Amino acid sequence: MATNKNALIRYKTIDKCLQNRARKWTLADLIEACSDALYEYEGKDSLVSKRTIQLDIQVMRSDKLGYNAPIIAYNRKYYTYEDEDYSITNVPLNQLDIDVLTESMELLSQFKDFSLFSELNGVIQKLEDKIYRESEDKEPIIHMDKNEQLRGLKHLDVLYQAILKKIVLKLTYQSYTAKSAREFLFHGYILKEYNNRWFIVGCYDGNFKVQTLALDRIQNVGFDLKAEYVKNKRFNADKYYYNTLGVTVLNDSSIYDIQFWIDSKNAPYVISKPIHHSQQLIEEFQDGSATLQVRVHHNFEIERKFLGFGDAIEIIKPRRLRQRLRRRLELALENYN
């Protein structure tokens, strides 16, 4: 990455020099200008080699980066652009460039509310303008799920900053089952997204038990700048969620090897897009159906995942989960009766 960055600095410097037609530019002049630019931008106090600048000129002349720069050498000594109006910053975008930039812009826009990306705002605006001027107005090809009306998203950035700067949060929170809200201090460790909803994971003040709070249940976010932020050194997000689908992590005794049968229509989908990273194929049948297995916590999310397949799936074991889902399906049937 550093090498590419230095090369871009040199290309821009050479481009700026060759646009200045009031001066005659020798190879030695370009070497000096590029060396000065690298010192200014990168603090590198070293002379760029003659061979490096010669290769840079070859690259700029070629189609490798799409520049096709009309660099000529006259009197066998001086370099300039044959086209007085040329600049590498004015190189038109081809259709592939436009398509890539358009979809990249749409992806970046999903994170517009994060201050982490605030420094990109100017760059994004320039790209939007460039794309608008060089392409027709088109419908997006990539469409990401988003819920602009989801409550709690306004807290996302302030919670992110609190975690980043290790500040103790003072939250007003009302769980789904509580009759009223309560206020408490909270030490946030990570923000987690699941099923297009956001959660903050951390611990209550004075208690190292890891808790997961839904952002849409947070009524107010404040800070306690006097309280000391305490990091739970035993918490590792990857290990914590290793056996979990979703966000509900239970004790180790709730981890099961869940074996299930899936019909022929859904088997290819589940095999190619596993329910969980632990998924293993146990057996494939001649009719296209299959038996698979995952090792996960038995939680609310895994139940909803299996129930979402309706009659296309059957839990084989453990018996406890099989009976629980059977009972839920029976209750569902009663609703329709």
**Domains detected in the chain:** 2-88 (1.10.10), 95-134 (no CATH), 153-238 (2.30.30), 252-336 (3.30.70)
Range with the lowest mean pLDDT among 82-96, 139-153, 291-305? Answer: 139-153
CA distances (Å), 332 to each of 213, 310, 337, in order? 29, 11, 9
Task: Check pLDDT > 60 for residue 110.
Answer: no
Helices 95-109 and 121-134 cross at an angle (nearest 10°) of: 140
Sheet holding 313-317, edge to edge: 280-284, 290-297, 255-262, 313-317
Cβ–Cβ under 8 Å, residues 37 and 10: yes
Query: What pLDDT does residue 52 have?
Result: 93
- What is the helix, strand, coil percentage profile of the chain, to 5? 40, 20, 35
DSSP state of 308: T
Q: What is the pLDDT of residue 312?
A: 95
Q: Which of 88-116 are b and which e, b meaning 16 or more Cβ less than 10 Å from the residue's Cβ?
A: beeeebeeebbeebbeeeeeeeeeeeeee
CA 35 to CA 46: how far, in whole Å? 7
* Angle subtended by helix axes 2-19 and 50-61, to nearest 10: 80
Q: Which of 36-40, 120-124, 156-160 has the lowest mean pLDDT?
A: 120-124
Cα 287 to its chain centre, rounded Å, is 39
Q: Which of 103-107, 142-146, 174-178, 180-184 has the lowest mean pLDDT?
A: 142-146
Q: Give pLDDT, residue 1.
A: 39
User: Do residues 173 and 182 lie in contact, with contact meaning Cβ atoms separated by under 8 Å?
Assistant: yes
In 3D space, the residue among 150, 138, 149, 142 whose CA is nearest the CA of residue 106 turns out to be 142
50-87 tens-digit pLDDT: 999 999 999 999 888 878 899 999 988 999 999 988 99
Q: What is the pLDDT of residue 320?
A: 92
Segment 138-153 shows an average pLDDT of: 58
- On the 0-12 / 13-18 / 19+ scale of CB atoms within 10 A, 28 is exposed
Per-residue pLDDT for 41 more than 90? no
Tokens matching residue 23:
């001066």
Backbone angles phi, psi at 148, to 5 degrees: -65, -25
The lowest-confidence range among 90-94, 135-139, 172-176, 254-258 is: 135-139
Query: Residue 193's pLDDT is what?
Result: 87
For 232, the token pair is 């739970």
Q: Which helix (H) or strand (E) holds 36?
A: helix 27-42
Q: Which two tokens stand for residue 330?
A: 């029976």
Question: 292 or 111, which is more confident?
Answer: 292
- Mean pLDDT across the stretch 14-43? 90
Query: Among 66, 55, 68, which Cα is nearest to 3's?
Result: 55
Burial of 319 (C-beta count, 10 Å sphere; 0-12/13-18/19+) = exposed
Dihedral sign for Cα atoms in the order 169, 108, 247, 296: negative
Q: What is the pLDDT averaged over residues 95-113?
A: 61
The helix (H) or strand (E) run that includes residue 117 is: none
Q: What percent of the chain shows pLDDT beyond 70?
A: 80
DSSP labels for 208-275? -SEEEEEGGGEEEEEEETTSPP---TT--HHHHTTT-SSS----GGGEEEEEEEE-TTTHHHHHHS-S
Judged against a pLDDT cut of 90, whether residue 138 lies above it is answered with no
